[in-house]
Amino acid sequence: MATVSLRHIVKIYPNSGETKKHKITNLKVTEEGVLAVQDFNLEIADQEFIVLVGPSGCGKSTTLRMVAGLEEISKGELYIDDKLMNDVAPKDRDIAMVFQNYALYPHMTVRQNMEFPLKLRKVPKDEIDRAVDQAAEVLGITQYLDRKPKALSGGQRQRVAIGRAIVREPKVLLMDEPLSNLDAKLRNQMRAEIIKLRQRIHATFIYVTHDQTEAMTLGDRIVIMKDGVIQQIGTPQEVYDSPVNMFVAGFIGVPQMNFYDGNLIKSASGKYSVVVDGAEIELSAEKQKNLTDHKVPEQAVTVGVRPEHITLKEVPGKMIKGTVDVSELMGSSVHLHINACGKDGVIIVPTLDLKGNKTFTMGSPIEFTFGGDVAHVFAKESGKNLEFSNDTVQE
Amino acid sequence: MKSSQRSKTTLSVVLGIICIIYVLPMVVVVLNSFKLNTYVKTDTFAIPTGEMWAGFSNFTKGMTFGNYPFAASAGYSVLITVVSTALILLFTSMAAWFIARVDDKVSRIVYYLCVFSMVVPFQMVMFTLSKTADTLKLNTPWTIPVVYLGFGAGLAIFMFVGFVKSIPLEIEEAAAIDGAGPVKTFFLVVLPMLKPTLISVGILEIMWVWNDYLLPYLVLDRTKYMTIPIHIQFLKGSYGTVDLGATMALILLSIIPVIVFYLLCQKHIIKGVAAGAVKG
């Protein structure tokens, strides 16, 4: 049970040999070194589940490791329960961590692995036994307690790693891509387990992943990062509905949001519309208001629409033309990979809507449209969502 | 199919011959240690039967020869071997952990110095070393392990560093978060994981120290302390006469512990050699 505050946290790797490691990313390089994390600000409430998400090299793991005390904080302050933690050793922060590659002690049995943190804290033997048995019960690993980690499968090992982390009831539970080493089926299963686990233990969770599905399903709030900079912080619904820029819009949601070149125009009555491929679509009242509030002028823009928000229903004068590249039947829906306005994109069509009488062969023409409530309008240059352009993005 | 079988047979024969060549000297030692001295030179490869059979007289002769008790030599050999190996294992594994985990200039220099020490032949430094050892009073069986530590460190650190680098750092980080400081992390987490390398380094060092002749010969005060190899050398008479039967008997005695030890640890030696080659 703890609040965690990250205030103006910066991580700089000095410009020596370390620089080579970060060459592949677009991290900012200053005279001091490579800026792996820039001015990270986040207030985490007690028992909140925060997910840090972003592509590899975006600084999410570095941030987590700074909270854990495994990386030094170059600048800024970290508070756990209002206590400054910058110079406190990892073991004294009352945190636990689950690593991507499990990091179990190979020479110890499952029981010994789970006992280890308690033994080091000199907890009485009977209490240790009780805690371990209880954690094993919760995670369903009771029958493996006497095995060594190498005799366990990946999913079981990850359970043990989680068990080792929860036995001592830490204030903050850190998870660094804990499901990345598991196959798809196990990952889904473990994701559900983590959701259940959350109900049982009263810790604050900080979870790092590059998988947007995990982020959306697990997090109370999601922190989306890119190149060491926070792009957006919000609930899954917020970041899905109101992405602040094209990066967030493209990163959250599967399949990815479609982007088309278009124009933002303002009618004589002051109503905003977007024009894509000759189709003029008037934006919804809420979007009108946001754009009006920010006094957004007419301009060439990038229009973003999620695949699931595109419809094939005929609306005269508002249809955009394209051609079908590939049609994938997913069961409940069909994913149509199309090319329109010179850009590749995806449309999700519910199978029911097709009623089986329409097939899409490669190269066949297609017409589609979208509503004014689901169109996102991004500035051409900066990629920022014009609805929020006096913005939440940190420079 | 046929040709592969033939090549297998050929290989077996060749390896068999090589094996015999390797084992033969040891067989000769065993045979001659039970042979009367006069027959050792004339019937070197003969099986000791009838008049050649000396029983255990060579052993008793060798052990009681001269005025230095063989038991003392054996005792000093054991002492030096055990203490040296223990020192080497403890200190070099710790040093290697540091070198592998602290990637700065100093640790890199120390590492290269250790590796470099492996290519410097002992003969190059032996006189300066024995002089230094004398000055520092490292010339007793209780202190000579320090000299062995210096000489054994190169290979041991080289092997340990390679293995430590193959251990994922996250395990140590997990230990740090679980509440272990550096000392506990090393002894409770890192050292047990080093077991395969500890065993293979241990075996190499034990065999080297146990069989070593030159270093104790140069450093130890021979009037007071002898090891088994030195004791054997002293079986040579003052005019170059050698009781070969007794020599063979003592050589046999000195190699038995090593062979027994090797057989006991064979499984681990193979594991240790393979360790680090593949991700464990």
Residue B1's contacts (CB-CB under 8 Å, 6 or more residues apart) are: none
Residue B105: its chain A contacts at CB < 8 A? Answer: none
Q: Give how far A90 is from chain B: nearest CA, Å.
A: 5
**Residue A204 has which token pair?**
């604050």
Residue B193: its chain A contacts at CB < 8 A? Answer: 105-107
Q: Give how far B177 is from chain A: nearest CA, Å.
A: 5
Judged against a pLDDT cut of 60, whether residue A17 lies above it is answered with no
Q: Do B174 and A68 touch (CB under 8 A)?
A: no
Average confidence (pLDDT) over A16-29:
59
List the single best residue of B107, B166, B172, B177 to mutate versus A (max A Cβ within 10 A): B177
Residue B225 lies in a domain: no
d(CA B133, CA B148): 11
**Residue A88 has which token pair?**
């406190």
B108 Cβ under 8 Å from any chain A Cβ: no
Q: State which residue of chain B sits closest to A165, comparing Cα positions.
A: B178
Judged against a pLDDT cut of 70, whether residue A390 lies above it is answered with no
B191 Cβ under 8 Å from any chain A Cβ: no
Give the C-alpha distances (Å, rounded to integers) separating A150 from A96, A108, A223, A335, B204.
22, 10, 35, 41, 28
The per-residue pLDDT for B277 is 42
All CATH 3.40.50.300 domain ranges in chain A, comma separated: 4-241
Residue A96: its chain B contacts at CB < 8 A? Answer: 177-178
Q: Do B173 and A104 touch (CB under 8 A)?
A: no
Residue B3 lies in a domain: no
> How does pLDDT run across A84-121, given as a tens digit for each residue?
999 999 999 999 999 988 899 999 999 999 999 999 99
Q: How many domains is chain B partitioned into structurally?
A: 1
Q: Pick the more confident residue, B126 or B55.
A: B126
CATH code, B268: 1.10.3720.10
A280 three-state secondary structure = strand
Nearest to B179 among A91, A97, A103 (CB): A91
Nearest to B176 among A91, A101, A164 (CB): A91
Q: Do A120 and B173 touch (CB under 8 A)?
A: no
Q: Do B174 and A121 touch (CB under 8 A)?
A: no
Least confident of A164-168, A251-255, A350-354, B156-160: A350-354
Residue with tokens 């069961």: A331
Average model confidence (pLDDT) across chain B:
87
**CA atoms in the 13 A half-sphere facing the CB of A66:** 29
Count helices and strands in chain A by DSSP H and E runs: 11, 21
Strands A172-176 and A33-44: unpaired
Question: Residues of A near B (CB-CB distance < 8 A)?
Answer: 68-70, 89-91, 95-97, 99-101, 103-108, 116-117, 120-121, 164
Q: Do A106 and B195 touch (CB under 8 A)?
A: no
> How does pLDDT run across A290-335, given as a tens digit for each residue?
999 888 888 999 999 999 999 988 888 889 999 999 988 888 888 9
Answer for the pair B38, B243: CB distance below 8 angstroms, yes or no. no
The per-residue pLDDT for B276 is 45
Average confidence (pLDDT) over B76-82:
94
Q: Pick the more confident residue, A289 or A26.
A: A289
The domain A4-241 belongs to what CATH superfamily?
Answer: P-loop containing nucleotide triphosphate hydrolases (3.40.50.300)
The per-residue pLDDT for B273 is 56
B192 Cβ under 8 Å from any chain A Cβ: yes
The per-residue pLDDT for A244 is 93
Average confidence (pLDDT) over B253-257:
88
Label residue B237 by pLDDT band (50, 70, 90).
low
Q: Pick the more confident residue, A238 or A28.
A: A238
Label residue B240 by pLDDT band (50, 70, 90).
low
Q: Do B173 and A105 touch (CB under 8 A)?
A: no
Note which residues in 169-188 of chain B have CB less than 8 A from chain A.
170-171, 173-181, 184, 188
> How does pLDDT run across A166-195, given as a tens digit for each residue?
998 899 999 999 998 888 888 888 899 899
Average model confidence (pLDDT) across chain A:
89
Residue A121: its chain B contacts at CB < 8 A? Answer: 179
Q: Do B176 and A99 touch (CB under 8 A)?
A: no
Residue B175: its chain A contacts at CB < 8 A? Answer: 105, 116
Residue B215 lies in a domain: no
Average confidence (pLDDT) over A358-383:
89
% residues pLDDT > 70 (chain B): 94
ω before A255 within 30° of 0 (cis)? Answer: yes
A302 three-state secondary structure = strand
Give the C-alpha distances (Å, rounded to integers) separating B7 from B3, B13, B20, B187.
6, 10, 20, 50
Q: Give how far A162 is from chain B: nearest CA, Å.
A: 12
Please count the residue pairs, one from chain A and one from chain B, whose beta carbons lie less than 8 angstroms apart. 62
d(CA B169, CA B192): 15
Q: Give how far B115 is from chain A: nearest CA, Å.
A: 23
Average confidence (pLDDT) over B260-268:
81
Average confidence (pLDDT) over B196-218:
89
Q: State which residue of chain B sits closest to A100, comparing Cα positions.
A: B170
Residue with tokens 């223990």: B86
All CATH 2.40.50.100 domain ranges in chain A, comma separated: 246-388
Nearest to A263 by CA among A272, A252, A250: A272
- In 10 A of CB B221, how many CB atoms? 11
> How does pLDDT run across B20-78, given as a tens digit for each residue?
999 999 899 988 888 888 888 888 888 888 787 877 888 888 888 777 888 899 999 99
Owning domain of residue B195:
70-210+256-274
Specify which residues A261 forms β-bridges with: A302
The per-residue pLDDT for A16 is 62
Q: Do A70 and B168 touch (CB under 8 A)?
A: no
Nearest to A91 among B170, B177, B193 (CB): B177
CATH 2.40.50.100 fits A246-388, yes or no: yes
> How does pLDDT run across B142-152, given as a tens digit for each residue?
999 999 998 88
Label residue A283 by pLDDT band (50, 70, 90).
very high
Average confidence (pLDDT) over B174-179:
93
> How does pLDDT run across A190-244, given as a tens digit for each residue?
899 899 888 888 899 999 999 999 999 999 999 999 999 999 999 999 999 999 9
